A and B are shown apart, each in its own frame.
Chain A
Amino acid sequence: MNKKIKPYNIVIVGTGGQGLITLLQVLAEAAMAEGHDFKTSELHGLSQRGGSVEVHVRLGAKVHSPIVPLAKADLIFALEAQEALRAIKFSHPKSIFLINKQIIPIPLQKALTGEEIMNHVKKTSKAAKLVPAFEICKEKLGKGVTSGIYLISLAVSRGFLPLSPEAVLGAMKKVMPEKYLALNIKTFDLAKTYEEK
């Protein structure tokens, strides 16, 4: 019988086109570089056409299932603020919950405000944070597309992720196409200077 070795559980939610599968691959490569066991799960197909997307990454000494159980996420990234609502079921009072302040409207549905979203999220996850990653990237780098890497870098630099900055950077270099790499590395560095208002 194996001992109770808990994996470290990461859930990323967002919408199709936000590059969630690339982020998954970066985390997986970094986990391998640091010698962790890990499993990941992703959904393909219809979800790509602008629908909601959810990917899971679990790392530790021994990981069985690729799917994070309910209320067992240690770290949640929501790349779009409204999508954070879908991840609440994975959160618990101690989860780190980083939410990109970007809103991508849903056709025929009134967009929720950041405040409304945080009211829901904070009922289970007191430490949830709304981070203006999209705005910062847009303002400082001209584009908001790398906000996912911004959130990951933030988690790494604050020690929320059991992965070293070097491992994550190395993984980015391995996974990302040449032409997007420079912007992503700049984003990674930029996030280290983030200060909460």
Chain B
Amino acid sequence: MEEILSNQSGKKVILLGNDAVARGALEAGVQFVATYPGTPASEIGNTFYRIAQKAKVHFEFSTNEKLAMEAGVGASFAGLKTLVAMKNFGLNVAIEALLPFVYTGVKGPTVVMVSDDPSCYSSAQTEENTRAFSYLARIPTLEPADVAECKEFTKLAFEISEKFKVPVLLRLTTRVSHQKMPIVLGQVTTNTSLVKGKFVKDARQFVTMPPRVLEMKEELLQKNKEIRKFFEKSKINKFEKAAPSGAGIIVSGVAYLYVREALAQLNLALPVLKIGSFYPFPKQTAQKFIKTLKKVLVVEELDPYLAKEVKEAAQETKCKARIFSKEWLPETGELNTDIVALAVAKLAGRRYQLPSIKHQIPDLKRRPQLCPGCPYWLVFAGVKKAVNEKEVVFGGDIGCYMLAGGAPHFLQDYLSCMGSSIGIAHGIKKATGQKLISFIGDGTFFHAGIPALINTVYNGSNPLIIILDNRTTAMTGHQPNPSVPGSNISSSVAIEDVARGCGVKHLKVIDPVMQDEFIKTIREFITKPEVSVIIARRPCIFVKPKDEQKN
């Protein structure tokens, strides 16, 4: 029996932060889970993919995050308890579906889990702070700091969603998602069969259209007033007292752990207010905390959103405390105990120096590489043989093939967000007419490449698009995608059918092992006046032949 499904309430187990969210959802009685993979959030999907049948939970890897969100909205409208999970960039894709969902509110309680990646350990495009979306969407937002809180906050998020009829955002970061610690299991009541919901017509709730939509906004503002009051009394905003010294710390997320350790390291006792509910911000709680203080340090990763809230709260009560945040802490990159200790020492007027290595240590340039035997080696080698690299622009996209940018390939002249290799290729083609080859993986093609392909056909541009069809979403841990049937999934979608359906005339499926044919086709296609597509099909070395055969 999988530990995560154990019904031994009270048992101590080791869980990863993401798995604690999954466990929290199970303890809350989740019935429907939809996600799209992306580090550092991928384990939510991997875990439910493994256990969904046993746990009798509806689960899917949706084709992209907007579709995961929409599947979740539908399930919630039908009354099911729903979890939707994704990485930071996923919410950019899904935001269109989230905003109206916060207006309509939920029927089945719904939690949206998003994991950010300060320091961009697994994120190519930007160092994103999802908390900005809390304001845009006006969605109640909780920030756990450790694994135990991942489980507790998930359960609380479901309760809040149930009580106030809004979706709730659970915001993690890499060091929370990929943290492990021992936690105590609570009760799970496993469903005996898949729960069937029922969509009960109610246009007043589910149809957003003016003039009703403005009423919905007013209702949401009202709900958030109530939720703010709820948070003012909630234990997730923890006031940890200490003997008065005029200074105090306000902190949220994993940074709380660094604050606690920094205080211990400096042998300091300062009052700490740990904010668990970032939005709506518990203003009065903060006002009470800073009332008697002269100096306040706000510790948070990335942008100073919490600091802005605290400053506003202080102003309102004419509190004279000086509030420090990014003057003493970086806005780029994750925090850690060392960085936080420096700021806390400043706050307390202590001298403190970080240990540093005095001598020069050689810089190791060990960059990630394509695996030995990866079919992409053949794709990039073939391209290099087929064309003069200096004359061709190479479009990159998101997946293992972004390693094309490094040695020994150097075949990547731009890289942005998922699907954009084709969208940007179209723009460059239109603007310049230069020769262009864009690379896109099968997963990414399904995720966001299809409308872009249609745009090249419809608006008439002629890039050569090479779809690297390795029959899996490899980069994020080999999740299934529509190109191959998964376990419990019998259908699949052939990329060549899609391309043909989009109106692509020059189309070939080639195993890149057939180098001669591959090279010849590249040379032929790159001169065509219309868009052309080569599907370079060869499974990732980690795809089991068994999965392949099913197709």
In the complex formed, the residue of A with least CB distance to B181 is A39
Chain B residues with CB under 8 Å of A107's CB are 367, 369, 407-408
Chain A residues with CB under 8 Å of B368's CB are 16, 46-51
Segment with Cβ contacts to A, from B51-59, B195-203, B358-366, B484-492: B358-366
Question: Does A40 lie within 8 Å of B181, measured CB to CB?
Answer: yes
Question: Does A43 lie within 8 Å of B121, measured CB to CB?
Answer: yes
Chain A residues with CB under 8 Å of B121's CB are 43, 45-47
Chain A residues with CB under 8 Å of B407's CB are 107-108
Interface size class of B (residues with CB under 8 A): 35 or more
In the complex formed, the residue of B with least CB distance to A16 is B368
Whether, in the assembled complex, B447 has its beta carbon less than 8 Å from a beta carbon of chain A, the answer is no
Known: A38-B181, A41-B175. A108 touches B364 (CB 8 A): no
The interface bits of chain A over 32-73 (1 if a CB of B lies within 8 angstroms of the residue's CB, else 0) are: 100001111111111111111000000000011111011100
Chain A residues with CB under 8 Å of B12's CB are 32
The interface bits of chain A over 9-50 (1 if a CB of B lies within 8 angstroms of the residue's CB, else 0) are: 000000110000000110011001000011111111111111
Question: Does B364 lie within 8 Å of A39, measured CB to CB?
Answer: no
Question: Does A49 lie within 8 Å of B371, measured CB to CB?
Answer: yes
A97 vs B407: C-alpha distance when bound (angstroms) = 32
Chain B residues with CB under 8 Å of A137's CB are none
Chain B residues with CB under 8 Å of A182's CB are none
The interface bits of chain A over 83-95 (1 if a CB of B lies within 8 angstroms of the residue's CB, else 0) are: 1011011001000
Count the A-B residue pairs with Cβ separation under 8 angstroms: how many? 143
Q: B488 → chain A, closest Cβ, in Å?
A: 23
CB within 8 Å of B: which A124-161 residues: 124
Known: A1-B242, A50-B369, A108-B407. A64 touches B364 (CB 8 A): no
Whether, in the assembled complex, B137 has its beta carbon less than 8 Å from a beta carbon of chain A, the answer is no
Whether, in the assembled complex, A109 has its beta carbon less than 8 Å from a beta carbon of chain B, the answer is yes
The interface bits of chain B over 56-76 (1 if a CB of A lies within 8 angstroms of the residue's CB, else 0) are: 000000000000000000000
Whether, in the assembled complex, B130 has its beta carbon less than 8 Å from a beta carbon of chain A, the answer is no
A5 vs B175: C-alpha distance when bound (angstroms) = 22
Chain A residues with CB under 8 Å of B355's CB are 70-71, 92
Chain B residues with CB under 8 Å of A123's CB are 357, 359
Segment with Cβ contacts to A, from B254-262, B318-326, B383-391, B457-465: B254-262
Q: Is the interface of B mostly helix, strand, loop or mixed?
A: loop
Known: A15-B366, A43-B122. A88 touches B361 (CB 8 A): yes
Question: Does B364 lie within 8 Å of A82, measured CB to CB?
Answer: yes
Question: Does A124 lie within 8 Å of B357, measured CB to CB?
Answer: yes
Whether, in the assembled complex, B436 has its beta carbon less than 8 Å from a beta carbon of chain A, the answer is no
Whether, in the assembled complex, B338 has its beta carbon less than 8 Å from a beta carbon of chain A, the answer is yes
Chain B residues with CB under 8 Å of A28's CB are 14, 180
Whether, in the assembled complex, B178 has its beta carbon less than 8 Å from a beta carbon of chain A, the answer is yes
Q: B122 → chain A, closest Cβ, in Å?
A: 3
Q: B263 → chain A, closest Cβ, in Å?
A: 8
Whether, in the assembled complex, B475 has its beta carbon less than 8 Å from a beta carbon of chain A, the answer is yes
Whether, in the assembled complex, B269 has its beta carbon less than 8 Å from a beta carbon of chain A, the answer is yes
Chain B residues with CB under 8 Å of A66's CB are 146, 175, 179-181, 257
Whether, in the assembled complex, A112 has its beta carbon less than 8 Å from a beta carbon of chain B, the answer is yes
A123 vs B66: C-alpha distance when bound (angstroms) = 53
Chain B residues with CB under 8 Å of A5's CB are 264
Whether, in the assembled complex, B267 has its beta carbon less than 8 Å from a beta carbon of chain A, the answer is yes
Question: Does A65 lie within 8 Å of B264, measured CB to CB?
Answer: no
CB within 8 Å of A: which B1-59 residues: 12, 14, 39-40, 42
The interface bits of chain B over 391-407 (1 if a CB of A lies within 8 angstroms of the residue's CB, else 0) are: 00000000010010001
23 contacts across the A-B interface (CB closer than 8 A): A4-B264, A4-B265, A15-B366, A38-B181, A39-B180, A39-B257, A41-B175, A41-B179, A43-B122, A44-B477, A45-B40, A45-B122, A46-B368, A48-B368, A51-B368, A64-B257, A71-B355, A106-B366, A107-B367, A107-B369, A107-B408, A109-B365, A109-B366
Chain A residues within 8 Å of B, Cβ to Cβ: 1-2, 4-5, 15-16, 24-25, 28-29, 32, 37-52, 63-67, 69-71, 82-83, 85-86, 88-89, 92, 106-109, 112, 120, 123-124
Q: A5-B264, A44-B40 are in contact. List 16 more A-B contacts (CB 8 A).
A: A25-B180, A28-B180, A38-B182, A43-B174, A44-B122, A45-B121, A45-B475, A46-B368, A51-B368, A65-B257, A65-B258, A69-B265, A69-B336, A70-B355, A92-B355, A109-B365
